[in-house]
A and B are shown apart, each in its own frame.
Chain A
Amino acid sequence: MATNRLFNSLNNVFITLVSLACTLPMLLVLMVSFTDERAIQRNGYQLWPEQFSFDAYNLLLLGSTPLYQSYMISIIITVVGTAIAVLITGLAGYTLSSSHLRYRNHLAVFFFITMVFNTGIVPWYLISTGLGLRNTIWALIIPTLLFNPFNLFLVRNYMRQIPQSLTEAARIDGAGDAFIAFRIFFPLSLPVLATITLFYGISYWNNWFNAIMLVDRESLYPLQYLLFKLNSEISMIQSMQSTMDLGINAVLPSESVKMATAILTIGPIVLFYPFLQKYFIKGLLIGSVKE
């Protein structure tokens, strides 16, 4: 039993270390965002700053920065994109799960083929530009609407378990398919719809691929792309400063501004994390454990 106890405590120590390894790097970014720029120049990044400073957040939140604009863009594409994606995935999931439809499996194959046969970014790019999406907000929403047809099959498999007797009764009462989908299937499928809402929501929030491919106008940069640009284009931070007076011997807080932007980008994810984790794990397990 002594070896058992030794094993258990070593195990606890090891797992604590692993979870620290997952947290500390983010903590470092957080701390740097609160560090005085001169302290960074002197000591480099530190987990515990020699001198705290809110300059970066002052600049980002009170100056005239592209941050608010990008935040708006990110929120719009996440909300609108996710809403449309969940709606059309849910509706198609209903059709694919309806056993009274003779062609439901043909339709499933139609969706499945594009899932296994990926033509890559070049045709995707040419079609998106061909549709005139370049430099519009739709470029950030439409070309990735159904990120992954896998979600469609997740919904279908879930809806298949809804007992047929429920729909039969409704049908006898004269209910049509639209009514059955919206009033019976959707309410009964809330867990799986919540899961795909999360999948889509996270993908939209974290997406910067569409922006790098299809958007040149700074006013349309989503948050992630702004963050991406910020690292390579110091001029973006310089232009922020010129609009704000930080005092005579102020140093441009470029390092801490970058890190502060990263932190502000993570914000909403931290906020939703408990919800996220719960439904994410659910969806993951529906989708991946072979029965």
Chain B
Amino acid sequence: MNPPGKKLSMFGELRKNRMAYLLALPAALYTLVFGYLTMPYMIIAFQKFNYKTGIFGSPWVGLDNFRFFFASPRAWQITWTTIKLNMLFIIVGTVCALILAILFNELRSRLFSKVTQSTILFPHFLSWVVVSYIVYSIFSTEFGIANRLLAFLDMQSINWYASPEYWTAILVGANVWKDIGISLVIYLAAITGIDGSYYEAARIDGASRWQLIRHITLPLLMPTISILSLLALGKIMYGSFDMIYAIVKDNGLLYPTTDVIDTYVFRSLRNIGNPAQAMAIGLYQAIVGFILVFGSNLLVRKINPDNALF
């Protein structure tokens, strides 16, 4: 106990509580190595990087890596695919989860609600590799359920894994299927948290079920909706590598609608073996992502400060 009014020096504070600070050391070391020490590596985006010479000995090439990337038409295609897919994930996912949460809230039987919630949440715990098998079992050209259904309806079978036009819908479907349970749980909790007296008062005034939802439930859910969407927006330039690479792999036929920045970066790094170029794209990804988060947060704060993230 130090005397009142007298502050310990920084060294004194660290020494006095050294055990307490030491307890955080392992986590801090990890964050230092895999967080802070990764930052200097970003400069290889401006180098002709060589594994042997490292970041200090590789020659500088200015913006060549960026030029190479942006010169190819693929640059815009993968950027657009990344943003489009993520926007669809957010919009379709949110709308589906909201509808489902509102319907769940109307359920009378607690048991029924519990059991169905469990089944809807379950896919979230599967890995994308397992989900890729599920997608395959539906859309496999030879054996898949989808083609059997088409045959049953006397329609021509489709070579799904060679037809990029269907994959935006399939990926959005897979994403909603896997993760809707999570948003459902969150929205349902938010709805349950709404003060029941609002509904009672409105009911006495003769409000219909739809009016209750439209004028009470939805407005009161807005903060939760906007926070979840903003968090998702923060990852809009990151194309869920796990999902897309597990499902599509290196199937070039599907690239026009499925290739995103993350899979492209992965291929430049691992298949082509050009870390400098991969880093340049990664840097572009980080900067645009950063701008989008701050931009959209600014926008939300302008409309309603309570709904903003920061």
From B100, which residue of chain A is reached at the shortest CB distance?
A: A18
B143/A44 in contact, CB under 8 A: yes
Q: Which residues of B contact A113 (CB under 8 A)?
A: 35
Residues A228 and B265 in contact in the complex (CB < 8 Å), given A88-B30, A114-B31, A209-B241? no
Contact with A along B259-270 (1 / 0, CB 8 A): 000100110011
A113 to B28, CA, bound (A): 12
Interface size on A, residues (CB 8 A): 92
| Among listed B12-20, B80-88, B162-170, interface-contacting one | B12-20
Q: Is the CB of A269 within 8 A of B34?
A: no
Enumerate B210-251 residues with CB–CB distance to A below 8 Å: 223-224, 227-228, 238, 241-242, 245-246, 249
User: Which residues of B are found within 8 Å of A96, using beta-carbon distances?
Assistant: 24
- Residue in chain A with minimal CB distance to B227: A290
**Residue on B nearest A208 in the bound complex, by CB:** B129
Separation of A212 and B33 alpha carbons in the complex (Å):
21
Interface string of A7-43 (1 = CB under 8 A from B): 1100110111011011101101100100000001001
The answer to whether B122 and A22 touch across the interface, beta carbons within 8 angstroms, is yes
**Contacting residues, chain B, for A60 (C-beta < 8 A):** none
Determine, out of B71-79, B112-120, B198-206, the stretch whose residues face the partner at the interface: B112-120
Identity of the chain B residue whose Cβ is nearest the Cβ of A270 in the assembled complex? B122
Please state if B23 and A95 are interface contacts (CB–CB under 8 Å): yes
Among A25, A32, A98, A289, point to the contact of B190 (Cβ < 8 A).
A289
Q: Among A44, A207, A288, which residue has its beta carbon within 8 angstroms of that of B145?
A: A44
Query: Contacting A289 at CB < 8 Å: which of B21, B121, B224?
Result: B224
Q: What separation, in Å, do the CA atoms of A207 and B118 have in the docked complex?
A: 23
Is B140 at the interface (CB under 8 A from chain A)?
yes
| Shortest Cβ distance from B250 into A: residue | A232
Residues of B near A91 (CB, < 8 A) are 23-24, 26-27
Neighbouring A residues of B30 by C-beta, 8 Å: 88, 145-146
Nearest B residue to A122 via CB reads B279
Q: A262's contact among B104, B133, B190, by CB below 8 Å, is which? A: B133
Does the CB pair A102–B34 fall under 8 Å?
no
**Which residues in A have their C-beta under 8 angstroms from that of B223?**
290
Interface centre among A14, A119, A146, A177 (most CB of B within 10 A): A119
* A227 in contact with B133 (CB, 8 Å): yes
Complex interface: chain B residues within 8 A of A28 (CB): 134, 137-138, 145
Whether A45 and B36, one on each chain, are in contact in the complex, defined by CB atoms closer than 8 angstroms, is no
Partner of B186, one of A15, A32, A231, A289: A289
Q: A281 interface residue, CB < 8 Å from B?
A: yes
**Shortest CB–CB separation between residue B178 and chain A, in angstroms?**
9
Asked if B144 lies at the interface with its beta carbon under 8 angstroms from chain A, I say: yes
Q: How many residues of B contact A (CB 8 A)?
A: 90
Q: What distance in Å separates the Cβ of B82 from its nearest Cβ neighbour in chain A?
A: 13
Which A residues touch B106, using CB under 8 A?
7-8, 11
Decide yes or no whether B171 CB sits under 8 A from chain A. no
User: Are B41 and A127 in contact, CB atoms less than 8 angstroms apart?
Assistant: yes
C-alpha spacing A227/B37, complex, angstroms: 33
The answer for the CA separation of A28 and B177 in the assembled complex, in Å, is 15
- B20 and A262: CB pair below 8 A? no
Q: Is the CB of B275 within 8 A of A100?
A: no
Residues in chain A near residue B110, CB distance under 8 A = none
Query: Is B209 on the interface with A (CB-CB < 8 A)?
Result: yes
What residues of B have a CB within 8 angstroms of the CB of A262 in the complex?
Answer: 129-130, 133
Q: Is A181 an interface residue (CB 8 A)?
A: yes
List, in ascending order, chain B residues with CB within 8 A of A187's CB.
none
How far apart are the CA atoms of A88 and B31 in the complex, in Å? 11
Of the A-B pairs whose beta carbons lie under 8 Å apart in the complex, a sample of 23, sorted by A's number, is A21-B177, A22-B120, A23-B119, A26-B122, A88-B27, A92-B24, A94-B23, A95-B21, A100-B20, A101-B17, A103-B13, A103-B14, A103-B21, A114-B31, A119-B42, A123-B279, A125-B275, A126-B41, A206-B127, A224-B129, A280-B121, A285-B185, A285-B189
Binding site for A on B (CB under 8 A): 8, 10, 13-14, 17, 19-21, 23-24, 26-28, 30-31, 33-39, 41-42, 44, 100, 103-104, 106-108, 112, 115-116, 118-123, 125-130, 132-134, 136-138, 140, 142-145, 147-148, 177, 181-182, 185-186, 189-190, 193, 209, 223-224, 227-228, 238, 241-242, 245-246, 249, 262, 265-266, 269-270, 275, 278-279, 282-283, 285-286
Apart from A111-B27, A124-B38, A280-B121, what are 15 other A-B pairs with CB-CB below 8 Å? A29-B134, A43-B148, A87-B26, A95-B20, A102-B13, A119-B38, A121-B262, A145-B34, A202-B125, A212-B270, A213-B270, A224-B129, A258-B133, A289-B186, A289-B189
